[in-house]
Structure 1
Amino acid sequence: MKKKYILWSALCSMLALASCESVLDKTDLGGASPDLISGDSVLANIALNYVYNQNLPSWGGVTDVTGLGGSVYSEESFNQGSSANKYLEGTITATDVTDFGTSLNATNNYGKIRTINSFIYDLGSDKLMDNGARNRLLAQAYFFRAWRYFELVKLYGGVPLVLTPQDAVGDEAREATFIPRNTTTQCYAQMSADLDTAIKYLPSVWSLPNTNWGRITKGAAAALKGRISMYAASPQFNPNDVAAKWQTAYDANKQAFDILTASGAKLFADYGKMWFTEVGNTEAVFITGFNNSQGDQQRRNNGWEASTRPRYATGSGGGSNIPSWDLVKAYPMKDGKKPGVSSKYTYSDQLFYKDRDPRFEKTIAYNGCTWPMTNVTNNRLWTYIQLNNQNRYISVENGSVNISNTGFYCRKALQTSDVATSPVDASNTIYSGTDWMEIRFAEVLLNLAEAATGVGRLDEAYTQLKAVRARAGIEAGTDGLYGLKANMTRAEMFTAILDERQVEFAFEGKRFWDLRRWKLLEKTFNGSKGTKVEIRLKTTGVPVDFAATRDGMKLDDVYTNYLTVVLTPNGLMSRPAIAWKPEYYFFPIPTGALNNNPLIIQNNTWGGSFDPLQ
């Protein structure tokens, strides 16, 4: 019974919230045991819901403990301000990356794995439950075990594979929990095996879609396997470009594509509004569901709205996830060509917003743009700076208090008047119920494109890239290539895909991990602080009533006649320039974990002998 303790005590907590009738009204929940739910798929589902609750990812795709992977770890935002960032400053120690776990804790990675293993162990021995129901329940648990191990392996390389719940009472039991690290290859094989089981037994589409919205499907399991296989094939884990790893990645991602398209998955028509359709969203593959009902007993609210909107528009917090000038420059023009390369659309820093990829307007809020964030249809955002009486530049935004450090805001997945079901203002942004799409169909397409490139199927890569660009609204051009270079080499196609991912998934927690798995962080960042941009109001020739009349002016006229865009090589950060270190491609096992388990060996780039490439 020791092995079952975590699962069934967790079940009791879930049951206490469920307000179910019949047997639960007549049973002492504090004394619940596996026998209580034997053969009962409804109660087993309640226990599985606890697994979901523990393991579903948060907004932004960051890791659970350190929060690693958000926009501040890449050029999306560049950690604006003076806050320290050890990862970018090159000052990580062996005690900093603690996702491995350094103590007995039900909420760290291995604590969550134990709960999953307990569920699998107990349900697997239940002979009373219908086989189909049991297999579907187990398949979802196998998915999350693969997810949990993936979060570990992408940080450290191989980790100990614990596949059964361990007893930890008494010296003998404690010593039995001392197991060494498995190789990275063994970990990838186990994740694939778990996901193969999930693919085998999960439905492509759940019945009762309203009730089962957010449950893992066959396609979600295949898509996660495709993502994991992409990591295994990428330079971080495949520095010698082994062809077999790319073939494995291609096969997995092609399977995911085939399963999902057969079940109706496709790109959502409107890039800007895809976050606001929940049940039946064709883009959604692996999601975390949120709700905004203040009366819900188990209310689950995401903080994206409150943290991302301008601080003065939320009442508190806000102003996070601010785009950098580097991200602004990353977007192509309407014809899909890079700024300065397009022969159809002229680019200038002065009119940086003009004729850009439509995803630009749907992701980045900039000085002078129309942004109905307060349910005012024609609301204009002004963030330029002007000289005050002390001859100092201050922002006109909110009286220069609680303003963006860059002059930009992220507007992706923020509700506006044309999608909101109730006024979006300071009083309700904390109750945002917008779901997080950890994997959406666009990623499946770009993963397939990348894997196809890895095995030399460049025509297939073109097909997927063009589909993503066509949905974005980029012009096809006379050659039908949506701005892509014709006859790209394998290396050029890999670069094109990474560039596409940068703008398609901006602020979705993908960029840092993409640069890390491609070992491009030093090349991209080192020695840089990013670029500072200031949009200044001219000191002469500006109408005295400019502030009162600017909303009615054409934006091009405002920028051309009254504003100056000034760029400097110095970033806004007061911290040192970025100094990512090569050893960070596999982080150190935390010292506490090494002390707790004498069989754990440190990575060879951190003073140990464990090779994470094996």
Structure 2
Amino acid sequence: MKTQNIRRQYWLCLLAILLFSACKKGGFLDAKTLSVIDEKAVFSDSTYSQQFINSRYTNIDFSYEPNRFGSNPSAGLESACDEAESATSLSLLSTTISNGALTPANNTDGLWGTAYTQIRALNIFLRNEKTIPLKSDSVRKYWEGQVRFLRAWYYSLLLKHYGGFPNVGNNVYTDDDKIDVPRSSYADCVSYILSECDAAAAMLPLNNLNPLPPYSATVDYGRITKGAALALKARVLLYAASPLTNAARGDDPNHLVSYGNADINRWKLAADAAQAVINLNQYSLYRASTPAFYQNFLTFQNPESVLAYYPPTTTPNNMFRETYCNPVSRGTRYTATVSMFPTQEMVDAFGMANGKAISDPASGYPGIGDNMYKNRDPRFYFTVLYNGALRAQNGYTGDQPVWTYTGVIASTTDNNLKTQGTDGIYKSNGTITGYYCYKMCADGVGPLGQELNRPRNLIRYAEILLDAAEANNEFSGPSSQIYTWLKDIRNRAGIAAGTDGMYGINPNMTQDQMRTFLQNERQVELAYEEQRFWDVRRWKIAPTTENKDMHGMEITRATNGTYSYRTIVVRKHVFRDAMYFFPIPQTEITKSPSLKQNPGY
């Protein structure tokens, strides 16, 4: 028995090392990395096989994380659109994107290699699935459902970045194979992902919170469910129905980034797919604790989480978001350059507590000045830190203000004002827009050295409701059901219902007005969740939202303690039509000549 345990530990350690290496290396299909695994040894033991599946989750949040382009400093896609500005390092890929300078040669974000490394590993599992010694066919089906979903998930990341991708099916290439797989059409790629989602959904449980045997709420929380598979299907169909791809393009003769025609019925397919998730009756907007919108992103086993991921480890090691977002005075035990500064464009997207946009004369917005942050949409206060916003601070009792002003620094004996020396605009490592990001950050980081944990909400129910609302509006215009979904979202947000019970929503919108309203609602509700970057592209409004100056708020404090306010230009962003999709990395074009580059590159 002792010898068996030693052998088991050896193989688990070897497998972990090999899989870690596989996740770190890039390259098309990465044929050599995983070929060294002794498949017979791994898949002849159910424990090793389970560990193999666990490792396939490793990169599921790759494109969601703000550190996807590197670290210290880092910034994700939120800093490559109008949500945020990054630190001023020109070497950041997010800066390269927002400068309009992304090319096949410098597109080295690793998504291509990461996705295909995982796809190849998933295909290895499917090749060996039937040899795994399991007592229950239901467990085998559960495992296969997870694997097929994960394969569809990684392909969906490729689809939204690049358009049509090389679909390798169930193939596992060896060291001796010549790998030169052409890209499939956009339509074929969508169809393949949808078929895999349907197949996975048929094999997966409704939930893993209160599962029946052989599922365990402890072991299986965070694993894929039927709802996640159907939600991915709904998201893919929503993107496919959107103007970017639901069209004919003269520069896309092979239909790699478009269908080649426009069809309004694609919106109906997206609407039906989102409705299928709603009809499961497994999800609801999180309201369990106060403030609900804020706690939603820190709470495990959350009824709003359709797909939530967190690293399966007893050491969370999950302070990265605070590291990239916290004001210097709040810090973490890690040293890094703060690199997610909300723009004034993002701040202005938030309406008032009565639900009205700040541009609406009926909103009560006072304009730029001392009261401009008062009585705003409650989601604003849990998304952005502004001058005077309260936040827990080590060494102090009770919440303390975050000061972002410049000008005359208050007396350092005044605890309520002295953090401006580190947090203020123009200070070293301080904000460059006058704001800090707060969403998803824990309020207090606790003693130095204490790690945090939170789920990554990759798909949540609020998105499904907004997906359903958008698809239905595009197919048939505003309806009472759309209003019901929107009022539910705004009710949870804490917006006042008003005397008419409409939460600030115009009850008589046209289709165009509803479209604009929904676009703004997505911007606010889904801020910093890897939505805005893709939304403005699929809607084809990026030339308006991205190709312009991005702004911040300069607040200057006078000697008498009064403030003056000035909107400032932080940096000009550039958008070119080619940037609706990422370019295929030049390294992959060189290795696989049959790959065709995206238009404009």
Q: TM-score, normalised by structure 2?
A: 0.82
1:47 matched residue in structure 2: 52
> Contact 1:59 / 1:302 at 8 angstroms: preserved in 2?
no
Match of 1:243 in 2: 264
Give the alignment partner of residue 147 of structure 1, picking from 142, 153, 168: 153
Percent identical among aligned pairs is 30
Cα separation, partners in 2 of 1:10 and 1:70, compared to 1, 3 Å: farther
Q: Which of 354, 357, 360 lines up with 1:341 in the alignment?
A: 360
Correspondence 1:77 to 2:84: yes
The answer on whether the counterparts of 2:578 and 2:599 sit within 8 Å (CA) in structure 1 is no
Of residues 142, 161, 164, the one that matches 1:158 is: 164
Structure 1 residues 514, 310: CA separation in 2 closer, same or farther (over 3 Å shift)? Answer: same
Instruction: Name the counterpart of 1:324.
Output: 343
1:396 matches 2:420: yes
Equivalent residue of 1:256, what SS?
helix
- For 1:213 and 1:87, the matched residues in 2 are separated by 36
SS of 1:605's equivalent in the other structure is coil
Residue matched to 1:116: 122
Q: Which runs of 5+ in 2 are unaligned?
A: 1-9, 20-35, 248-260, 411-417
Match of 2:219 in 1: 211
Return the letter of the residue paired with 1:438: L
- Asked if the contact 2:357–2:363 (Cα under 8 Å) also holds between the matched residues in 1, the reply is no
Contact kept in structure 2, 1:236 and 1:516, CA below 8 Å:
yes
- C-alpha spacing 1:595/1:452, structure 2 compared with 1 (3 Å): same
Name the CA distance, whole Å, in 2 between partners of 1:524 and 1:10.
49
Is 1:305 matched up with 2:306? no
Q: 1:410 to 1:130 in 2, by over 3 A?
A: same
The answer to whether the 8 A contact 1:272-1:413 is kept is: yes
- Measured in 2, the distance between the counterparts of 1:396 and 1:413 equals 23
Deviation at 1:16, TM superposition (A): 10
Confirm or deny: 8 A CA contact 1:384 1:395 kept in the other structure: no
1:214 CA drift (Å): 0.7
Contact 1:397 1:403 survives alignment (8 Å): no
* SS of residue matched to 2:564: strand
Match of residue 221 from structure 1: 229
C-alpha contact 1:285 1:440 (8 A) present in aligned 2: yes
TM-score by length of 1: 0.80
Q: Name the CA distance, whole Å, in 2 between partners of 1:362 and 1:235.
A: 32
Which is worse superposed, 406-415 or 150-159?
A: 406-415
2:186 maps to 1:184: yes
Match of 2:107 in 1: 97
Q: 2:42 touches 2:49 (CA, 8 Å); kept in 1? A: no
CA displacement 1:184-238 (0-9 Å, x = unmatched): 1110011001110111110011223222111111111111111111110111111
Kindly state the Cα deviation for residue 272 of structure 1 after the two structures are TM-superposed. 1.2
In 1, are the aligned partners of 2:356 and 2:363 still within 8 Å (CA)?
A: no
Pair 1:450 & 2:473 matched: no
DSSP 3-state at the match of 2:465: helix
- Cα distance in 2 for partners of 1:62, 1:496 equals 31
Judging changes above 3 Å, is the alpha-carbon distance between structure 1 residues 360 and 307 closer, same or farther for their aligned structure 2 residues?
same
Matches within 5 A, 1:389-468: 396-398=420-422, 400-416=427-443, 424-428=446-450, 431-456=451-476, 458-459=478-479, 460-468=481-489
Output the amino acid matched with 1:472.
A
Question: Which residue is equivalent to 1:24?
Answer: none
| 8 A contact 2:354–2:363 mirrored in 1 | yes
Do 2:328 and 2:422's aligned partners in 1 also have CA atoms closer than 8 Å? no
The one-letter amino acid of 1:481's match is M
Whole-Å separation in 1 of the counterparts to 2:242 and 2:403: 42
Question: Per-residue displacement from partner, 1:82-103 (whole Å, max 9, x unpaired)?
Answer: 536222222222223346878x
Contact 1:57 1:438 (8 Å CA) reproduced: no
Matched, 1:271 2:269: no
Deviates more, 1:589-598 or 1:55-64: 55-64
Deviation of the 1:291 alpha carbon: 7.4
- TM-superposition CA deviations, 1:417-440 (whole Å, max 9, x none): 5xxxxx625433xx2212211111
Q: Name the residue aligned to 1:133.
A: 139
The unaligned stretches of length 5 or more in structure 1 are: 1-7, 18-29, 418-422, 547-561, 607-614
Aligned: 1:583 with 2:578: yes
State the distance in 2 between where 1:56 and 1:80 align: 22
Q: Which residue of 2 aligns with 1:26?
A: none
Distance (Å, rounded) in 2 between the aligned partners of 1:511 and 1:441: 17
Task: Quote the offset at 1:59 in angstroms.
Answer: 5.2
Q: Work out which of the two has the higher radius of gyration on C-alpha atoms and give 1 or 2.
A: 1
Q: Which residue pairs with 1:599 in the alignment? A: 594
Q: CA deviation at 1:332?
A: 0.4
Cα RMSD over matched residues? 3.0
Q: Report the equivalent of 1:20.
A: none
Query: Does the 8 Å contact 1:99/1:152 carry over to 2?
Result: no
Partner deviation per Cα, 1:148-177 (whole Å, 9 max, x = no partner): 11111112211110122333333xx32xx3
Instruction: Decide whether the 8 Å contact of 2:543 with 2:576 is kept in 1.
Output: yes
Structure 1 residues 413, 579: closer, same or farther in 2, change over 3 A? closer
SS in 1 for 2:555: strand
CA distance in 1, matches of 2:237, 2:347: 31
Measure the CA separation in 2 of the matches of 1:10 and 1:597.
34
Cα deviations by residue, 1:243-277 (Å, 9 ceiling, x for unpaired): 12111111111111212xx2244334510111222
Name the CA shift for 1:515/1:233 in 2 (closer, same or farther; >3 Å): same
Shift of 1:344: 5.2
Matched, 1:285 2:306: yes
Tell me, in whole angstroms, the C-alpha distance in 2 between the residues paired with 1:486 and 1:99: 44
How many Å separate the matches in 2 of 1:502 and 1:226?
19
- The 8 Å contact of residues 293 and 492 in structure 2, kept in 1 or not, is answered as yes
Structure 1 residue 352: deviation in Å? Answer: 1.4
Cα gap change, 1:178 to 1:525, in 2 (>3 Å): closer
CA contact (8 A) 1:340 1:347 kept: no
2:96 counterpart residue number: 86
| Distance in structure 2 (CA, Å) of the matches to 1:35 and 1:92 | 44
Shift of 1:358: 0.5
Aligned length: 534
Task: Check whether the contact 1:364–1:412 (CA below 8 A) recurs between aligned residues.
Answer: yes
CA distance in 1, matches of 2:319, 2:146: 23
Letter of the aligned partner of 1:308 in structure 2?
C
Which residue pairs with 2:255 in the alignment?
Answer: none
Residue 101 of structure 1 contacts residue 593 of structure 1 at CA under 8 Å; is this kept in 2? no
Equivalent of 1:483, from 504, 510, 526?
Answer: 504
**Partner residue in 1 for 2:23:** none
AA aligned to 2:298 is F
